[in-house]
A and B are shown apart, each in its own frame.
With several copies, the nearest count.
Chain A
Amino acid sequence: MDFSQFNASEQAHMTKIIEKKQMQDFMKMYSGLVERCFTSCCNDFTSKALSSKEEQCVMNCADKFLKHSERVGQRFAELNAESMGPARP
């Protein structure tokens, strides 16, 4: 994203909007992660307590998802830079 042509007040405005979006995205990612790991790991409802097996699964699921996201982010940034690069004079 190239904001160099923005003036100071536009950049300030943009920064606020982006911060707001980051907050919302983080919250959505977080609740989506909870839902994902719950769905994958919890299949026994004969008890309301999380079994140690379920808890371990949830921890691994969350760990793995965060690492997955990070790796996707790295590849995404690289490929995005590649595709942006030649297109901009």
Chain B
Amino acid sequence: MSFLGRGASTSNGGINHERLEMAMNEIEMVSDVFNRIVSSCHGKCISNRYAEGDLNKGESVCIDRCVAKFFDVNKKVGEKMQAAGANAQATGSSSFSL
């Protein structure tokens, strides 16, 4: 998840706000993806009946595979976006210039 790495000039000693903002973007992205995996895999693997509080064997195995598959989908979609020349400004909302 390192596609946010724009070049950043180092301001020695002081705070390089551009670099901090890039780091924050990366954290936001990872955290957003994590939360989506938690939610998606809960929907896919956990039954809504809640007869017990522990994960049973089937649920546990399902979670492991679900997370792996989500990563795969993330990778495939990322490759497609890059192949399409998907640029932040371009694809996000191409005809949506404010």
Direct contact, A vs B (beta carbon within 8 Å) = yes
A residues near B (Cβ < 8 Å) are 1, 3, 6-7, 9-10, 13-14, 17-18, 20-43, 45-50, 54-55, 57-77, 79-80, 83-84, 87-88
User: CB-defined interface of B1-44 with A at 8 Å, one 1/0 digit per residue?
Assistant: 11000000000111110011101111111111111111111111
Assess whether B24 is in contact with A17, with CB atoms less than 8 Å apart: yes
Given contacts A75-B68, A84-B1, A87-B2, are A34 and B55 in contact (CB under 8 A)?
no
Assess whether B84 is in contact with A23, with CB atoms less than 8 Å apart: no
Chain A binding surface SS class: helix
Given contacts A14-B20, A80-B98, are A21 and B27 in contact (CB under 8 A)?
yes
Chain B contacts for A46, CB-based, 8 A: 65
B residues near A (Cβ < 8 Å) are 1-2, 12-16, 19-21, 23-46, 48, 50-55, 59-78, 80-81, 84, 86-98
Given contacts A63-B54, A70-B94, are A27 and B41 in contact (CB under 8 A)?
no
